[in-house]
Amino acid sequence: MEQEFDIQEYMTKGVERVVADSIRATLKNPRESAFMVKFAASSKAASARRAALKKQGEHIPPFLIASITSSCNLHCAGCYSRCNNATVDAEPVRQLNTQEWLRVFEEADELGVSFILLAGGEPMLRRDVIEAAGKKQNILFPVFTNGTYMDEKYFDLFDHCRNLIPIMSIEGGKEATDHRRGEGVYDKLTENMDRFYEKSLLFGASVTVTTENIREVSSDAFIGGLSAKGCKAVIFVEFVPVTDDSRELAPGEEEREYLKQEIARLRKDYPEMVFVSFPGDEKSSGGCIAAGRGFFHINSHGGAEPCPFSPYSDSNVKDTSLRDAMHSRLFETLRDGDLLKDDHDGGCVLYAKRKQVEEILNR
């Protein structure tokens, strides 16, 4: 019988391994070594806080996704966020301000949340929030960015705040990346990677997997190239079709099985890197880990949502604590029911079952 894969344990242990490797690799850089040692201790303390609360009957997920802005400068082909009107060109109104986000980060720290993924839109448009995150040294903040706003101030910020880890979106080689994200994006990304390597800064890559690029992005040529540039994490996110004309890009069962086998191989061949697949790892972990099972999402306006692909909310951190939002009726109904464990055609189960989610919300 195949052993169930625990995505939460893998990600936690994987980050701890990368941190340990970084400590050994940066002994000549006292500042980074000092941070890595401190974060390793903070991560263990956070795990202990979550474990203590679990004994009291309260489950706290180790991860939080925070979309700190709904603005973006790119128009990537098939972007789910734009199709859901969660991302716009104009500067949005009524978004959480710097102090409100800082309060969210502080509450997360107190609960034992170890990792907060900063997303958007394009999160680097909110330099104020990223600077605030840099001050919360107990938490690791992967910043999911398109990489086009990387400037000297940001390189300096990432250098001084080692808890901020840029995760840059790339679709494979130059042709595939520029085709989906725009001309010149690939060259900007590789330029950024070279700078991070020169400065001995940690970074990762996020890849949207489609039927067109699945073999390229799982190849040794692509992964080996990222590893050579110092990339320490690759996040594979299965393309979610939000329009009928993009359905052919969504991986089917055959492609998903291929990716599963390739990721298992990559984990063995590239032990210096962390590989995560959504929703592949979720399926092998007993179902979707959204709605607080493993993580949940705070949108740019403060709404607590099951995940970025499921933009439904019945609570807002402007009006309630992060802890109370975690126990909202919507989240608890989803966690207690079978919807998160339901089989589906691929992509996001909550997006595929959005009518059922809407029914729960409207009860």
95-151 pLDDT, tens digit each: 999 999 999 999 999 999 988 999 988 999 999 999 999 999 999 999 999 999 999
CATH topology of domain 7-73+81-361: TIM Barrel (3.20.20)
The pLDDT value given to residue 323: 94
Series of mean pLDDT values for 10-residue runs along the chain (363 residues): 50 59 53 70 87 90 91 76 61 85 96 92 95 94 95 95 94 94 96 94 92 96 96 88 75 89 93 79 62 85 89 92 92 81 62 79 81
Report the chain's terminal Cα–Cα distance, integer Å. Answer: 40
Q: How far is CA 310 from CA 53, 72, 86, 268, 348, in A?
A: 27, 19, 11, 33, 8
pLDDT in tens, 55-108: 999 988 888 999 999 888 877 776 666 656 666 666 666 899 999 999 999 999
Write down the pLDDT at residue 3. Answer: 47
Is the overall model pTM greater than 0.85, yes or no?
yes
CA 32, 34, 269: angle at the middle one, nearest 5?
A: 55
Q: What is the pLDDT of residue 310?
A: 81
Domain ranges of the chain: 7-73+81-361
